[in-house]
Structure 1
Amino acid sequence: MKSTRNKVEDNVAAPTNAELAQNMVQLIQTIGSVLVQNKHQQRLKNRNDVAKLVAKRNPPCYLGQEDPLILEDWIRTFDKLFDAINCPADQRINTAAYYLRQEADNWWATTAPTLRQQPDFSWETFKEAMRKRFYPEHVRAEKYEEFLHLKQIGMTVQEYHSKFLNLARFAPTLVPDEIEKTNKFIRGLNFETQKALCVSECQTLNDAYNKAGKHYRVQQLQKKTLKR
């Protein structure tokens, strides 16, 4: 019996080197296919996770208004949101595009095929494309001029500060650093407030805003007292 088993084993030919190589190739291909499939499934899961995380924050939709303040607020919202959830760079465009509506959605549907063909197309270039479409050069120039001549006249310090911050985004060359920004803010204040701030040097915009706010409050209290 033992002799018969040995004869059978002797008759089984050992695999050749070619067969071993072929088996190895097939094994590698199988492993590769599994890895690709797992990677694809993981990518889909990640996309779904990102979509859910963004949806939970209930971000605004952009309708395509040619108002740079509305667009910049929308962009800034998604910039902060993507950073907060660590959104992968390759998922930012599709995620944000889902929140385009009306004219903005029509624009994206028309231009997306062309923009996606650009080798360096990214979230940053997507934002620039939106800016070029929804607030062209003449609108930017209007905002620049508005900031250039901005004064507090008719506004509270808080209202002036808010408008100053909104418009400063459209004139970075006028306020390239914190000192220039602070000086520009002070020059736009009412004359009495400017005189009050000359007593103490303001190194930052926030410092100037706080001091101007305190002076404005004192002025309002003084006016109320004189009316009594």
Structure 2
Amino acid sequence: MNPEDFHGTTDPFVAEGWIRYLKVIFRYMEMADADRVRCTIYLLKGDAFLWWEGADRGVNMATLTWEEFKRVFYDKYFTSNVCSRLEREFMSLHQWDWSVAEFVQKFDRCCHFAPLIFNDVAEKLRHFLDGLRPTIRRDVMLSDHNDYTTAVAKTFRTELSLKDIYWEMQ
């Protein structure tokens, strides 16, 4: 494993993605909690290390857990204002003129910022279907899917069928 250094960022998705990347490595390596924290601090460089030099004054390094470190990290790089904005964006998400692939990518990226929807399988599916373009939603809903993954697959097939119909009409 070769974890990347973190130099700081103004893009919360980059910061959040870095933490998720580390979580995968740590889980794979079965690292102890204290080792996760030490490894993560070692990977902080540049502006991120300067931030940590100030942030570490507010924590007890002897008892700092991985979860506590993530909370401090997210307070800096993924503020509650950003989370609130992303949750509002997700709640009003619609496909509009995006392709299905673009909509699914945006939906998946933003979904976990609305945990009440993300953690409820039926609500996640309903919210996904509600955000689809009406011509696609109708075909997907006629198939009566009960899970998100199957509905996404049907959505891709429906988009392809609509493109074929449009091409045939030309």
Larger Rg: 1
Task: Tell me if both proteins adopt one fold, taking TM over 0.5 as the criterion.
Answer: yes
Q: Does 1:86 align with 2:35?
A: no
Matches within 5 A, 1:60-79: 60-79=4-23
Task: Tell me the equivalent position of 1:201.
Answer: 144
- Which is worse superposed, 82-91 or 105-114? 105-114
CA contact (8 A) 2:16 2:78 kept: no
Task: Tell me the equivalent position of 2:73.
Answer: 130
- Give RMSD over aligned pairs: 1.7
Inter-partner Cα distance in structure 1 for 2:80 and 2:156: 34
Q: Which amino acid aligns with 1:173?
A: L
CA contact (8 A) 1:150 1:164 kept: yes
Indicate how the Cα distance of structure 1 residues 212 and 163 shifts in structure 2: closer, same or farther if over 3 A, else same: same
Matches within 5 A, 1:1-228: 57-117=1-61, 119=63, 121-227=64-170
In the alignment, structure 2 segments of 5+ residues that lack a partner are: none
Q: Which amino acid aligns with 2:154?
A: K
CA contact (8 A) 1:69 1:166 kept: no
Pairs aligned (count):
170
In the alignment, structure 1 segments of 5+ residues that lack a partner are: 1-56
Give percent identity, aligned residues only. 24
SS of equivalent to 2:118: coil
Inter-partner Cα distance in structure 2 for 1:171 and 1:104: 27
Larger RCO, structure (CA 8 Å, separation 6 or more)? 2
Q: CA deviation at 1:164?
A: 0.7
Q: What TM-score comes out, normalization by structure 2 length? A: 0.91
